[in-house]
């Protein structure tokens, strides 16, 4: 299949060369190869809806071959010294930084996000994550335990789990690779990477860089394909020791069931419907831009988006009017245009989902403060949605209770701390929350009351490789980032010695 490269005249020569070489292959045992069946699938460029890339689709037989190669590679990789693993991770981070322009362009074409966000946020955060975990291999320790049995020595060893299957979402394709592969590789595991079928290209380029960095054959493998085929085969495979997944709660449930076959270890970072709470004593000049950015950034395609805005009555109208004004000035457009603030949604399927929720909100009686229509001046075939704000909602409406994963904000008023805590927690999710107040006692009190894995006080969307991130309730379990993430990829062995 011959595919036209979109916006070719704006792209780096290496990006054009990468997109010209198609179909994209699988990486199995350190070798680029077609799928055994020869089956392929096509991804679309979100700004136009036109075909972007043809990619080989891994079937269960490809998964079998990949797992066998990864298990063989693990027996050698586990003997590589911590210092050698550290050097490889640093080399990989250096290569990602060197190729940042190309990776950003690939990410924008594949996902739809603005090129500025890809270049200034996604790629640098990926580099930072790998450099953070590059420092860990030489610091993974066991310990001597003060046992009470005479003439016995007891100590612990920390050992890699083995072969890890990582399933990556389409909203932050590149940076999510670093969240999973950073700690998994630092701990000494072999990794099979399964990116979202909507956004496979940055994973392909990433694996090319991993080969350049010198990772041994089979330590990092790449299987592209649909979740219900490739992902399901990877999750159920008895040769896989752990699955690390970021994605929807619905798929997380399926993964837990499939992983029961060999009781493989599972960590899940799932959906959210995060409350963003603004009290009447808050610094509104700072809070309002965060309230808008937390839902309209990345076109709302963030699991921790501040999608429920709860504002204390005295300042409610002032805050919502200002957020609506911010939405009005967001420039929605093609991701490759440097003036774009918000790009399209990533796929046609997701565009249909988000627009359906907007219809449901209106049908349920919610008032549209802003948006709820297609933006003007955008390519006809692109998956564009305007920033949208709903008011006059009730807590039982679908737009309030369910994760939309788009630029759709529901705003509501509250009066007391106890009320807002109860309403904020009235959700099956528990990923994140934001609190704005100058009353530090109230801030700490509410942070303790909220059932969320992350609470941001007088800020939002703050991430650092050293700070763990994950959810409560149906937002999943396990943690990404920090030393806590390493625990997901290590076994503890207790050794007893008679003296």
Residues 6+ away with beta carbon under 8 Å from 307: 272, 273, 274, 276, 295, 300, 403, 404, 408, 409, 410
The candidate with the shortest Cα–Cα distance to 245, out of 237, 235, 236, 233, is 235
> How far is residue 149's CA from residue 482's CA, in Å, rounded to a whole number?
35
CA dihedral 414, 417, 422, 427 (to 10 degrees): 70
From the candidates 86, 107, 197, 269, give the one annotated as an active-site residue. 269
How far, rounded to the nearest angstrom, does the alpha carbon of residue 396 sit from its chain's CA centroid?
28
From the candidates 303, 349, 419, 459, give the one annotated as an active-site residue. 303
**Three-state secondary structure readout of 2-47:** CCCCCCHHHCCHHHHHHHHCCCECEEECCEEECCCCCCEEEEEECC
The candidate with the shortest Cα–Cα distance to 264, out of 276, 273, 255, 254, is 255
Length of the chain in terms of residues written: 499
Other beta carbons less than 10 A from residue 262's beta carbon = 11
> How far is residue 149's CA from residue 498's CA, in Å, rounded to a whole number?
10
Residue 105 annotated in active site: no
Residue 8 annotated in active site: no
Other beta carbons less than 10 A from residue 205's beta carbon = 23
Residues 6+ away with beta carbon under 8 Å from 35: 26, 56, 57, 58, 59, 62, 225
Cis status of the peptide bond prior to 444, with omega within 30 of 0: no
The conformation of residue 216, written as its DSSP 8-state character, comes to P
Residues 6+ away with beta carbon under 8 Å from 40: 1, 23, 54, 55, 56, 57
The candidate with the shortest Cα–Cα distance to 106, out of 217, 34, 188, 24, is 24
The candidate with the shortest Cα–Cα distance to 25, out of 70, 50, 62, 73, is 62
DSSP output for 96-159: HHHTHHHHHHHHHHHH---HHHIIIIIHHHHHHHHHHHHTSGGG----EE---STTEEEEEEEE
- Provide the total of helices (H) and of strands (E) in the chain, helices listed first: 17, 22
> How far is residue 201's CA from residue 101's CA, in Å, rounded to a whole number?
14
Among all residues, which ones are annotated catalytic?
Answer: 269, 303
């Amino acid at each position: 299949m011959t595919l036209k490269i979109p916006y070719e005249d704006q792209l780096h020569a290496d990006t054009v060369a990468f997109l010209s070489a198609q179909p994209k292959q699988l990486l199995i045992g350190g070798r680029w190869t077609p799928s055994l069946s020869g089956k392929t699938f096509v991804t679309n460029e979100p700004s136009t809806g036109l075909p972007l890339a043809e990619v080989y689709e891994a079937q269960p037989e490809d998964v079998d071959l990949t797992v066998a190669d990864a298990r063989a590679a693990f027996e050698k990789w586990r003997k590589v010294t911590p210092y050698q693993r550290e050097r490889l991770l640093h080399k990989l981070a250096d290569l990602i930084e060197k190729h940042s322009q190309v990776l950003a362009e690939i990410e924008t074409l594949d996902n739809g996000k603005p090129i500025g966000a890809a270049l200034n946020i996604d790629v640098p955060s990926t580099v930072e994550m790998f450099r953070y975990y590059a420092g860990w291999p030489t610091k993974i320790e066991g310990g001597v335990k003060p046992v009470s049995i005479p003439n016995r020595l007891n100590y612990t060893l920390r050992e890699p789990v083995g072969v890890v299957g990582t399933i990556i979402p389409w909203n932050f394709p590149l940076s999510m690779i670093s969240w999973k592969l950073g700690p998994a590789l630092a701990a000494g595991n072999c990794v099979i990477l399964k990116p979202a079928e909507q956004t496979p290209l940055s994973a392909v380029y990433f694996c090319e860089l991993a080969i350049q960095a010198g990772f041994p054959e089979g330590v990092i493998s790449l299987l592209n394909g649909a979740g219900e085929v490739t992902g399901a085969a990877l999750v159920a495979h008895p040769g896989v020791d752990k699955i690390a997944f970021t994605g929807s709660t619905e798929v997380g449930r399926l993964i837990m069931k499939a992983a029961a076959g060999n009781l493989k270890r599972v960590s899940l970072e799932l959906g959210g419907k995060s409350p963003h709470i603004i009290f009447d004593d808050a610094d509104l000049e700072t809070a309002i831009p965060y309230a808008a950015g937390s839902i309209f950034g990345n076109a709302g395609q963030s699991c921790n988006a501040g999608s429920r805005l709860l504002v204390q009555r005295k300042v409610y109208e002032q805050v919502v009017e200002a957020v609506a004004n911010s939405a009005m000035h967001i420039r929605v457009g093609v991701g490759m245009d440097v003036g774009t603030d918000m790009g399209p949604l990533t796929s046609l399927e997701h565009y249909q989902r988000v627009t359906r929720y907007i219809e449901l909100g209106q049908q349920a009686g919610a008032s549209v403060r802003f948006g709820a229509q297609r933006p003007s001046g955008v390519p006809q075939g692109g998956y564009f949605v305007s920033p949208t704000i709903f008011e006059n909602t009730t807590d039982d409406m679908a737009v309030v209770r369910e994760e939309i994963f788009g630029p759709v904000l529901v705003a509501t008023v509250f009066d007391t701390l106890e009320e807002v805590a109860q309403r904020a927690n009235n959700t099956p999710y528990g990923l994140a929350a934001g609190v704005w107040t100058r009353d530090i006692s109230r801030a700490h009190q509410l942070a303790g009351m909220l059932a969320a894995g992350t609470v941001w006080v007088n800020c939002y969307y703050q991430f650092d490789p050293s700070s763990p991130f994950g959810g409560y309730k149906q937002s999943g379990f396990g943690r990404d980032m920090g030393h806590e993430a390493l625990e997901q990829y290590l076994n503890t062995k207790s050794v007893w010695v008679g003296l």
